[in-house]
Amino acid sequence: MSTAITVFDVGGTHIRQAQWVREGELHARTSRPSPTFRRFPGASVAELQEMMVRELCDPVPRSPDAVVGISFGAALDHRSGIVYASAPLWGDHSEPYDLRAALTARRADVQWHIVNDVTAALLHAAASADRSGHRKVLLATISSGIACRVIDQRQRRIPVDGCGLQGEIGHLPATAGLAGQPVVLDCDCGRTGHLAAYASGPGIARMADALALREPARWAASRLGRLTAGGAGFEAALRGALDDRDQLAVELLDAVTAPVVAVLRTALCLDPELDEVVLTGGVVHGLGHHYRHALMRDLARQGLYLTSERTPDWLDRRITVTAPGEADSLAGAGIAARTGVPL
């Protein structure tokens, strides 16, 4: 195996690429847009998949021992590399796709290693010396999609079910409300009322649209409404409004984090061996400390039965919001290619 491994992180917005070396360093980073159903609305899923294969194969250097690690934003079978679905990439399409076979057919000279992007991020986060003594770590990514993974550090094992899956929480049923009334939204996968419909990046934007329709006068008078009306992009406008302590922006953030808290609260209740819950992804990085504050506000209102009363800091000590680079799927793809994924 060569010293440097070409690594990709494929998300619903960008494909990041780099060279990963044994010491864990990343060199020659690049980024380009992902071929998605939103970017190419007239393309079929088969055409989008072919575009993806070209995007991953063509940049890999020609060498007799080329190795590639791919962090792929999709629900996939970690045992085989079969991709079941990716709502951010392909919408409501759910026909299994043998990505590894497609890549090998185009570049048989390459050793392909494919893992889910959340698994890759968890492998990188779990490798931190600060987490070496943890029993279990849960990492959740909140981005164009939502999912989580749990690793048992004692066995260095990420268990999967009979389909090779774990932690697809973005497509669990969820509820959300705005201005005292429930909101029902569709998920990118085509179903209604999933966690990602409310709490992913696109879901938060849809929740904001619903709030603007439901309370137009408050929206127009708010800092968030004024920033968006002035031409600011939604993500920047939301962060700016939160920085300015805009009450409507705070209410929106509380509404979109509440379904996430419900899942995390349940996970911590069911598995007290979770020593840390790590939050990462584009939404988390974009909103920074505002995101964690919203989580903790909700958990302060309703935490874990008895535990929150008897040990008030128990939850606070377990919730971590990462900065960019602290749970890097590119680095995790390199780790997976070098050492494999313990299932």
* 51, 168: one domain: no
Question: Residue 203: is it exposed, middle or buried by C-beta count within 10 angstroms (0-12/13-18/19+)?
Answer: buried
| Residues 39 and 147 both lie in one domain | no
pLDDT at residue 2 greater than cutoff 60: no
- 96/172 same-domain check: no
First to last CA, the chain: 22
Shared domain check, 203 and 220 = yes
Task: Please check the confidence at residue 79 and state whether its pLDDT lies above 90.
Answer: no
pLDDT of residue 316: 93
Same domain, 314 and 165: yes
My answer on whether 155 and 282 are in the same domain is yes
The range of the structural domain enclosing residue 68 comes to 5-123+327-339
Q: Which of 134-138, 140-144, 308-312 has the highest mean pLDDT?
A: 134-138
What does the alpha-carbon distance between residue 203 and residue 333 come to, in Å, rounded to a whole number?
A: 27
For the chain, the domain total comes to 2
Same domain for 51 and 147: no
Amino acid identity at 178: L
* Burial class for 312, CB neighbours closer than 10 Å (0-12, 13-18, 19+): exposed
Mean pLDDT of the chain: 94
Is 1 buried (19+), middle (13-18) or exposed (0-12) by CB count in 10 A?
A: exposed
Which residue matches tokens 């749990």? 150
Question: What is the spatial distance between Cα 83 and Cα 63, in angstroms, rounded to a whole number?
Answer: 27
Q: Quote helix, strand, coil % in the chain, to nearest 5.
A: 40, 25, 35
Beta strands in the chain (DSSP E): 5-10, 14-20, 26-33, 66-72, 75-76, 82-85, 97-98, 110-116, 136-142, 146-152, 176-178, 181-183, 274-280, 319-321
Assess whether 102 and 146 both reside in one domain. no
d(CA 69, CA 335): 8
The rounded distance, in Å, linking the Cα atoms of 160 and 69 is 20
CA dist 114 and 99 (Å) reads 9
DSSP 280-312: ESHHHHHHTHHHHHHHHHHHHHS-STTHHHHST
Residue 264: the pLDDT is 97
Most confident of 82-86, 127-131, 275-279: 275-279
Average pLDDT over residues 55-59: 96
119 and 169: one domain? no
Residues 155, 99 within the same domain: no
> In the predicted model, what is the mean pLDDT of residues 80-99?
91
Residues 227-282 have pLDDT tens digits of: 999 999 999 999 999 999 999 999 999 999 999 999 999 999 999 999 999 999 99
Residue 1's pLDDT band (cuts 50, 70, 90): very low
User: pLDDT per residue over 6-49, tens digit each?
Assistant: 999 999 889 999 999 877 789 999 999 999 999 999 999 999 99
Question: Which CATH number characterizes residue 157's domain?
Answer: 3.30.420.40
Spatial distance between the Cα atoms of 31 and 209, rounded to a whole number of angstroms: 29
| Interval 49-62 mean pLDDT | 96
Whether 51 and 69 share a structural domain: yes
Q: How confident is the model at residue 144 (pLDDT cuts 50, 70, 90)?
A: confident
| CB contact at 8 A, 274 and 140 | no
Residues 205 and 238 in one domain: yes
Residue 40 dihedral angles phi and psi, to the nearest 5°: -125, 75
Structural tokens at position 280: 């990462």
Site of tokens 């048989």: 108
Does residue 342 register a pLDDT over 80? Answer: no
Tell me the pLDDT tens digit for each residue of 155-186: 989 999 999 999 999 999 999 999 899 999 99
pLDDT at 92: 87
pTM: 0.91
